[in-house]
Structure 1
Amino acid sequence: MIIIRPIQQSDYDSLHRIAVESGHGFTSLPVNEELLQQRINKAETSFNKQVTQPGDEGYLFVMEDTETGKVVGTSGIEAAVGLDDAFYHYHLGKVVHNSRELNIYNTVETLSLCNDYTGTTEICTLFLSESHRKNNNGRFLSRIRFLFIAEHLERFAQTVIAEMRGVSDENGRSPFWNWLEEHFFSMDFPTADYLTGIGKKVFIAELMPKYPIYVNLLSQDAQQVINKVHEKTVPALRLLEAEGFCRRGYVDIFDAGPTVEAQTHAIKSIKESQKCQVLIGDVTSSENYIVCNTEVAGFRAIQTSLLLRETANQAVLSREAADALNVNDGDWIRLIRN
């Protein structure tokens, strides 16, 4: 069976393997032993912490194949970004150059450095090993974060964002960063991306241009990738768009990939999820659901068939499914149709 649960110390080797597999542009999982260990420690602290409002908590989940005991994927949530370290974006804007006397009117796109998303909740660190990219596992790994948020709303902000990986080649070279590197920096994209991933962001404030950048002054290659996603990120973007996420002109400062956002209460999987009481019995239904228990540190989630008795607000689970979720008759679960 495939389950999703909070990460734990024994998952370090698996997390390191996933960090290596994920490749360039996956800033939230740098291949760095100290940082990966810190990520696990932070997650364990966050899952065990009493919370009344979002703070510096970071929740990291793993997907485990219980038949092999192998961890095959991760997904995460940062409760409130930018509270300790500055959280940078470029915002796409417009400047108008107008001369009535000469009858000239030009509109020029600009990129302005900002911290507008400070304090928002970020969903992040979504990665699934190729061996398990089937049976809706990717969709499950993405959507389960919203069920966790729905069940524990006090832990998260009113706006949720996701930074989508921008365009780069197989060697990690980003056309957008190439232009910035030539004019403002003396380091390649993988190095800058890695430094950000390990928390060394001071160089951004020190070296980034302080004034808006005119987009038409960038190289053609750089202009063409602004607000575009990496080909491997297209499925993740489509999933989020189906949840109600949209672009508002914010892009990553390194690869110019888009950041998408949604109001927490309006996210489809949050809005449409429902809580039911458990009845353990025979399940004859073929309807498939994503289901989680209502715990924090003891969180468990699965995909399973169940029989929904909507009028009674009950869900009939098989014994196997109930055991995987660590629930008994009368306990509460949260679910959404898959």
Structure 2
Amino acid sequence: MLVIRPICLADFAALKQIAIESGHGFTSLPDNDELLLSKISRAQKSFTETVTSPGQQSYLFVLEDTQSKDIIGVTGIEAAVGLSTPFYHYHVASHVHYSPRLGVKKVVETLNLCNDYTGASEVCTLFVREKYRRGFAGQLLSRVRYLFMANHPERFSDLVIAEMRGISDENGHSPFWAWLETNFFGIDFPTADYLVGIGDKSFIAELMPKHPVYVALLSPEAQNVIGKVHEKTAPALRLLQKEGFFHRGYVDLFDAGPTVEVALRNIRTVQQSRLATVAISDEHQLSQAKADEQNYMLCSTNVSQFRATITPEVKYHSDTNSLLLSANTAAELGLSDGSDVRFIKL
């Protein structure tokens, strides 16, 4: 069975391997032992502390094959971004230049440096190892975050964002950054990406152009990638769009990948999921009840011992608002008779 759970120190080796496999542009998981250990420690603290409003908590989950014990992927949520260090974006804005006397009208776009998403919650760090990219692994890693947020809305902002990885090649070359590097920064994209990943963002304020940048002045290659996603990120973007996320003109400073947003209450999984009571049954009873021949995503409501999975081996009874589970499924999720469970039909 594939089960989502909070990350723990024993997952360090797997997390490091995922950081290596994710490659350039996956800023939230740089290949740095000290930082990865810090992420695990911060997540463990976040899962165990009492929270009444979003702060600097960071929730990091892993997807584990409970039979092989392999860590298949990782996913995370930042409760509120930009509280301790600036959270920069470019906002793409359009301006109309018009001369009635000459009869000339020109619409020009500019990139404006901003911190508009300060305080928003961010879904992030979603990565499925390549050999496991089949079945429901990606969907489970993506949507489980919304089930967790639906369980504990007090821990998160009313606005949720996701930064999408922009265009870069296998060597870490970003057409958008290449223009910035030449004109302002003097460091290559992998170096800038790594510095941001380890939290060293001071160079942005020191070297980033302070005034709006006219898009027309960028190289054609740089202009062409603004707001576009890396081919490996396209599936993740489609999942986000199905949840209601949309692009409002904000892009990453380094590779110009889009940042998408949605109100927490408008996330499809949040709206469609529901709480029920667990009723544990043996396999024969479950078979007799004719399980719905449909996959369900379900999770516990405990924070520190959170568990989630996808399975067809359940039966929902609307008259009693109860979810019939096998003893094995309940055990894997840490559930018992009478426990609360959140679920959604897929």
Structure 1 residues 100-249: aligned runs within 5 Å: 100-249=100-249
Q: Name whichever of 202-211 and 63-72 sits farther off.
A: 63-72
SS of the residue corresponding to residue 26 of structure 2 reads coil
Partner-residue secondary structure (3-state), 1:169? coil
Deviation per residue, 1:122-152 (Å, 9 max, x gap): 0000001112111111011100000000000
Distance in 2, Cα, partners of 1:49 & 1:147: 19
Number of paired residues?
338
Q: Is the 8 A contact 1:76 1:145 kept in 2?
A: yes
Q: Is the Cα–Cα contact under 8 Å of residues 3 and 63 in structure 1 kept in the other structure?
A: yes
Question: In structure 1, what is the equivalent of residue 9 of structure 2?
Answer: 9
2-structure distance, mates of 1:311, 1:287: 19
Quote the residue 1:330 is aligned against: 338
Measure the CA separation in 1 of the matches of 2:136 and 2:71: 16
Deviation per residue, 1:171-202 (Å, 9 max, x gap): 11000000000100111001000000000000
Counterpart in the other structure of 1:254: 254
Deviation at 1:28, TM superposition (A): 0.3
Distance 2:251 2:231 in 1: 16
Cα deviation code 1:31-60 (max 9, x no counterpart): 001100100000000000100000000000
* Identity, % of aligned positions: 55
SS of 1:102 mapped into structure 2: coil
Separation in 1, partners of 2:99, 2:311: 65
- Please report how far the alpha carbon of residue 311 of structure 1 lies from its aligned counterpart in structure 2 after TM superposition: 2.1
Distance 2:218 2:103 in 1: 26
Using the TM superposition, give the Cα deviation of residue 102 of structure 1 relative to its aligned residue in structure 2, in angstroms.
Answer: 1.7
Pairing 1:290–2:297 present: yes
Q: Write the distance in 2 (CA, Å) between the matches of 1:43 and 1:212.
A: 37
What letter corresponds to residue 3 of structure 1 in structure 2? V
Q: CA deviation at 1:252?
A: 0.3
Q: What displacement does 1:104 show?
A: 1.4
**What is the CA–CA distance in structure 1 between the aligned matches of 2:106 and 2:134, rounded to whole Å?**
49
SS of aligned partner of 1:271:
helix
Alignment partner for residue 321 of structure 2, among 303, 313, 316?
313
Q: Please give the root-mean-square deviation of Cα atoms over the aligned residues, in Å.
A: 0.7
**How do 1:260-271 residues align onto structure 2 when only pairs under 5 Å count?**
260-271=260-271
Unmatched tracts of structure 1, length 5 or more? none
Q: TM-score, normalised by structure 2?
A: 0.97
3-state DSSP of counterpart to 2:286: coil
1:283, distance to aligned residue in structure 2 (A): 2.4
Q: What amino acid is aligned across from residue 300 of structure 2 in structure 1? A: N
The runs of 5 or more residues in structure 2 that have no matched partner are: none
Alignment of 1:12-161 (within 5 A): 12-161=12-161
Aligned equivalents of 1:15, 1:45: Cα separation in 2:
18
TM-score of the superposed pair, with normalisation by structure 1? 0.99
Superposition deviation, residue 75 in structure 1: 0.1
C-alpha deviations, 1:230-280, integer Å up to 9, x for none? 011111000000000000000000000000000000000001000010001
Query: Could you list the runs of 4 or more consecutive aligned residues of structure 1 that deviate by over 6 angstroms after TM superposition?
Result: none
- Whole-Å separation in 1 of the counterparts to 2:103 and 2:69: 70
| Contact 1:287/1:307 (<8 A) preserved | no
SS in structure 2 of the partner of residue 231 of structure 1? coil
Distance (Å, rounded) in 2 between the aligned partners of 1:186 and 1:273? 49
Secondary structure at the counterpart of residue 235 of structure 1: helix
Between 281-290 and 221-230, report the one with greater CA deviation: 281-290
SS at match of 2:319: helix
Q: Amino acid of the residue matched to residue 332 of structure 1?
A: D
